[in-house]
Amino acid sequence: MVDKKYIRNFSIIAHIDHGKSTLADRLLEMTGALSQREMREQFLDKMDLEREKGITIKLQPVRMKYRLDLSTNPQPSGHARPCRTGFSSVDVATTTSFSDKTTSASPESRPAHQAIADKSSMDYELNLIDTPGHVDFSYEVSRSLAAVEGAILLVDATQGIQAQTLANLYLAIEQNLVIIPVINKIDLPAAEVEKTKGEIVKLLGYSSEEIICISAKTGKGVTEILDRIIKVVPAPAGEESKPLRALIFDSNYDKYRGVVAYIRVFDGVIHQGEKIKLLATGAVSEALEVGFFDPNYHKSRELQAGEIGYVVTNFHEVSECRVGDTLTLEKEAQKIIPLKGYTEVKPMVFAGVFPKEGDAFENLREAMGRLKLNDAALVYEPEQSQALGYGFRCGFLGLLHLEIFQERLRREFNLDLIVTVPSVAYKIYRRNGDEPEVIRSPQQLPSGAEIDHIEEPWIRLDIITPKNYLGAVMKLAQEKRGVYRNTEYLDETRVILHYEMPLSMILTDFYDKLKSLTSGYGSINYEMLDYRRAEVVRLDIMVADHIVEPLATIVYRDEAFKRGKEIVTTLKESLPREMFVIKLQAVIGGQIIAAERISALRKDVTAKLYGGDVTRKRKLLEKQRQGKKKMMALGRGQVDIPSEVFVKLLKH
């Protein structure tokens, strides 16, 4: 059992692409958690999707060992000397590897040079939780921060402080965490270290000497971070003698052993084989296995107060094990007060998800449950569509969250899906009712005669941009119905614009346009404000005289024609031609506001006609026209819209 004063729990927080995963790689390498042979880039990013996109999607915990040299640092609170200072093969060979399970070995079982070193050294247990940087996965960040005592605030020297840097910093401050400011990528030619230092000093009030400058890629300065963690991050509180209280901050599903809960133990001790209980759900089971991450699952005898690890719960129902629940021992359940847990996530974007094949619905239901366990921000409920059959209305934190969700269902569960056009949640006030009705899809919108008024969600939007692009960014925000509030200056070259804006305005192309206008330097962060009155209508799309429900959307009345024209034009360019004319129409309440036509493929019915009067040719062509007309009347003129077209319209 490790003394709690030698345990440090911390996270890495930063804007996307500021180098969190690379820094985690260097920390793993320098602490001996991984050898050079085992090492690969983005090691903690377990999913292929994360590697392909170059972003972290899921938080990932890992335990590392760090050796304090007592001969030069007699006090545990002093600076630590790293296990090694470089990346040579000699260093790897002489470092105690956590993955080699040497932490519990006796001095006699270790090499002679290690046994001697043990007499004048002390091992620290460092628990790192790597976090995503994109705004759509901020819920992952908030959960990880609730399980630690300190946070490394990583800032790219070439980009400076960005919107998500500030958002994640505020989350850390709310948890009263110790902040360690670090500037990364100082080795790049475009690095502006002194400028970035000035931004951090202005933001946090730190002196420039307290800011650590590193290159996570080369390893320069990284050992200083380990020293600082030991020195300033407090040891975890809690007592082993108290009843067990552990916070579930994440989970995963093993088809052979059930739900694997990722926990931070605040009080007590948990051993393998003990009966456990979850306080929120009341579910009871047995701890089949307990352990920690090294970075893979590493079975251990127990987890004590202050430690981060996992419990194989043997729960097979997803609903029994919830993120944010308090895990305790069944025999002690009546003695404890549940931990605070997490604020319930509020989805921002809603879309319908339907299997292409009707018999795949049960597979989709099971897959949704598995993903829900691994993605606590996902919200869903069953939905039925006349055109698409049975599916789910899903809530997401943003479009990237939706895209990742769709891709995971395809890759991990081999599901072919139709995803409807995303929308936000509206409040409908009927003429004959007092309480508002919340709708999450255009299909739920009642007829205009029943509606008194509609309200839509608004957000507080922060845009960080270089001053050179200020005019273009403000014009974009105005086009998106943004209401300007004020401007803050980060430094002489960059500003923060504060706007209030309808959430629906940033769902599709806002971020892409911002990046284009600012040459990639612009960034955003947003949070919910309230609901406000909106002049919106339901826009239906008809293909071959049939309403295509997945293409229905809610739009502003003054933008309905433009949006309808864009959709039917895109369909005309995307849909394959048929043997009959395809009519494309944008409709509001039975009124056609925009239309296009896809001309019919013409089968050469006169190919075998040789010579003769021209009337013979005309008779064949007329017979063809009548046949097409009859086919349309019999309902055989329905058009199958490929999933690629839905995706194209979504991105458009």
The yes-or-no verdict on residue 207 having pLDDT over 50 is: yes
Token pair, residue 282, equals: 């009341």
> Are the C-beta atoms of residues 649 and 572 closer than 8 Å to each other?
no
The DSSP letter of residue 540 is E
Does the structure show a pLDDT above 60 at 518? yes
Rounded to an integer, what distance in angstroms lies between the CA atom of residue 650 and that of residue 440? 17
Do 376 and 321 form a contact (C-beta atoms < 8 A)?
no
pLDDT grade for 652, boundaries at 50, 70 and 90: low
Length of the chain as a residue count: 652
Percentage of residues of the chain with pLDDT beyond 70: 82
Tokens linked to 600: 């019919």
Give CA–CA dist 526/507, Å, rounded.
Answer: 12
Residue from 561, 593, 601 nearest 577 by CA? 601
Q: Of 214, 209, 241, 236, which Cα lies nearest the Cα of 225?
A: 214
181 DSSP β-pair partners = 153
Digit-coded pLDDT (tens) for 1-25 = 678 888 999 999 988 888 888 898 8
pLDDT of residue 238: 86
Tens of pLDDT, residue by residue over 29-56, are: 888 877 777 766 766 666 666 666 666 7
Q: What is the mean pLDDT of residues 449-453?
A: 85
CA–CA dist 490, 203 (Å, integer): 9
Q: 301-315 pLDDT, tens per residue?
A: 999 999 999 999 888
- Determine how β-strand 426-430 pairs with β-strand 494-502: unpaired
Q: How many CA atoms lie within 13 A of 473 on its CB side?
A: 28
Q: At residue 477, does pLDDT exceed 90?
A: yes
If you average pLDDT over residues 509-519, what whole number do you get?
81
Burial of 452 (0-12, 13-18, 19+ CB in 10 A): exposed
CA 271/CA 37 separation, integer angstroms: 33
Residue with tokens 């209508």: 537
Q: Which residues contact 223 (CB under 8 A, 6 or more apart)?
A: 30, 82, 85
Q: How far apart are CA 126 and CA 498, in angstroms?
A: 38
* Average pLDDT value for residue range 281-298: 89
For residue 370, pLDDT over 60 is answered with: yes
Instruction: Convert the pLDDT of each residue in 108-156 to its tens digit.
Output: 333 333 333 344 456 889 999 888 867 667 778 888 898 999 999 999 9
b/e per residue, 76-90, with b = 16+ CB within 10 A? beeebbbbbeeeeee
Backbone φ and ψ for 616, nearest 5 degrees, come out as: -65, -40
d(CA 396, CA 371) in angstroms, rounded, equals 13
DSSP code of 577? Answer: P
